[in-house]
Amino acid sequence: MKSSIKVVFIGLGGRGRNVMSIMLRMPDVEVVGVCDLRPEMLAKGVALVKERRGVEPVATVDYQELLRRDEVDAVMVTTGWNEHLGLCAEAMLAGKYVATEVGGANSLEQCWDIVRASERSKMPCMMLENCCYGRKEMMVLNMVRQGLFGEIIHAEGGYLHDLRKEIALGYERGHFRHAQNQHRNGDVYPTHALGPIAKCLDINRGNRMMTLTSVSSKGRGLNTWLHEHYGADHEKANYPFAMGDVTTTIITCAHGETIMLTHSTTLPRPYSRRTVIQGTKGIWMEDKKGFYFDGISEKEEQWDSIDKYYPEYEHPLWKSYQDGGKLTETVEGHGGMDYLVQRAFVEAVKNGTPTPIDVYDTAAWMAITCLSEDSVAMGGQPVPIPDFTNGKWMNRRDVAEGPYSLDRIPEK
């Protein structure tokens, strides 16, 4: 086990520097290199490391310069969505552990690319899906593992976030969602909901996603918003954005479970990831902040508050995280989940062990985006979801263990 690790960051926009800022709180992590094509972002990244650690990292516009460095243990891919997968593959082939920020794939080929790169290089690739380490999500996972829900039957989730202003005006400052909304139509951001659900369903560890069907509504949210706020003469007011305002996707799994996902970022509404986990003995519903369990819930057919369940079912990782006092100092990262997902990656790099979200998860979760586009384009036609493990999912044992594990260790 390494006592400390050396990481580099590719991509220093808002999210990249945010991730770096949290990682710079970890005494066993050194940020030895940073890369961005934009000089002002590069300078900001360098300044952040210098301010927090007193030393300057290597700064470059050429990411390959960073990949060539032997002392680098891990590469953090925090660019825009479109560049994630190609950089992941290259970084693994250079012999590095790789972490990538969330996003969706543009093609299945991109997803296979990271699978091949990981299998050839034996290096892991972990999507930093922070919601897998959310407090509520981890408690629910803990309860699923303990059997409270019985057999899991159905799950729901989504990304329902009013981002009209950012998307409508995003082109002025290169916000990647603007281009996505201009040109694509489908669930471009499935992983915040799908990640935690996939873990509850043992996807790629005894189960897998088989098909999906995806349908989009018309898209009127951005145009309406621009008309209201900037008038009919705004240059984007009548732009025919390709993206529908609401995309609904239904995924089927090998063992008969269904997953319903929603993507909606261009209509007014309060934020929600709308998670539902439903089994033969109980249900969790995020929008109700409530559980209902046969024989446990106090009142028949009435929601029990989540607060009743924390004392008994809080995930051990969250318990120790809160006990260790790290919660307050790291609360900037979405209430602690950012810290935990990064810490899970760092621990795997230090120990040379598998990452709890691995290359098969990353590939399968990101593939939902391009498959959703395909299905939407064909009027909701069901499309197959590839088995990126090539059959290994039926009896995989190379899964993560230890306190940060999200995996069920398969029997036998």
Taking the least distance from each CB to its own copies, the nearer of 103 and 158 is: 158
Give the range of 83-91, 168-176, 356-364, 379-387 binding its own copies by CB under 8 A: 379-387
Contact positions with its own copies (CB under 8 A) in 197-256:
211, 213, 215-218, 220-221, 224-225, 228, 244-246, 248, 250, 252, 255-256
- Contact between 360 and 387 (Cβ < 8 Å): no
Contact positions with its own copies (CB under 8 A) in 161-190:
162
The least CB distance from residue 184 to its own copies, in Å, is 17
Give the range of 93-101, 325-333, 378-386, 391-399 binding its own copies by CB under 8 A: 378-386
The least CB distance from residue 337 to its own copies, in Å, is 20
- Report phi then psi at 389, rounded to 5: -85, -5
Interatomic CA distance for residues 274 and 246, integer angstroms: 14
Structure tokens at 228: 């209201």
Interatomic CA distance for residues 325 and 23, integer angstroms: 17
Taking the least distance from each CB to its own copies, the nearer of 101 and 304 is: 304
Among 12, 35, 74, 267, binds its own copies (CB under 8 A): 267
Taking the least distance from each CB to its own copies, the nearer of 255 and 308 is: 255
The least CB distance from residue 326 to its own copies, in Å, is 28
The least CB distance from residue 260 to its own copies, in Å, is 5
The least CB distance from residue 228 to its own copies, in Å, is 8
Residue 300 amino acid letter: E
Among 64, 146, 238, 258, binds its own copies (CB under 8 A): 258
The least CB distance from residue 305 to its own copies, in Å, is 13
Taking the least distance from each CB to its own copies, the nearer of 267 and 349 is: 267
Structure tokens at 215: 């349908």
Taking the least distance from each CB to its own copies, the nearer of 36 and 202 is: 202
Contact positions with its own copies (CB under 8 A) in 8-67:
none
Contact positions with its own copies (CB under 8 A) in 287-346:
287-288, 292-294, 301-303
The least CB distance from residue 297 to its own copies, in Å, is 8
The least CB distance from residue 145 to its own copies, in Å, is 18
Interatomic CA distance for residues 370 and 407, integer angstroms: 26
- Contact between 105 and 38 (Cβ < 8 Å): no
- Contact between 77 and 88 (Cβ < 8 Å): yes
Q: Quick check: 283 binds its own copies (CB under 8 A)?
A: yes
The least CB distance from residue 186 to its own copies, in Å, is 13
Give the range of 31-39, 49-57, 282-290, 306-314 binding its own copies by CB under 8 A: 282-290
Among 27, 240, 270, 324, binds its own copies (CB under 8 A): 270
Sort 198 into a burial class: Cβ within 10 Å, 0-12 / 13-18 / 19+.
buried
Interatomic CA distance for residues 198 and 188, integer angstroms: 17
Strands 304-305 and 290-293: antiparallel
The least CB distance from residue 149 to its own copies, in Å, is 10
Interatomic CA distance for residues 207 and 210, integer angstroms: 9
Q: Quick check: 279 binds its own copies (CB under 8 A)?
A: yes
Structure tokens at 181: 């909304």
The least CB distance from residue 212 to its own copies, in Å, is 8
**Contacts to its own copies by CB under 8 A:** 150-151, 153-154, 162, 211, 213, 215-218, 220-221, 224-225, 228, 244-246, 248, 250, 252, 255-258, 260, 262, 264, 267-271, 278-283, 285, 287-288, 292-294, 301-303, 379-382
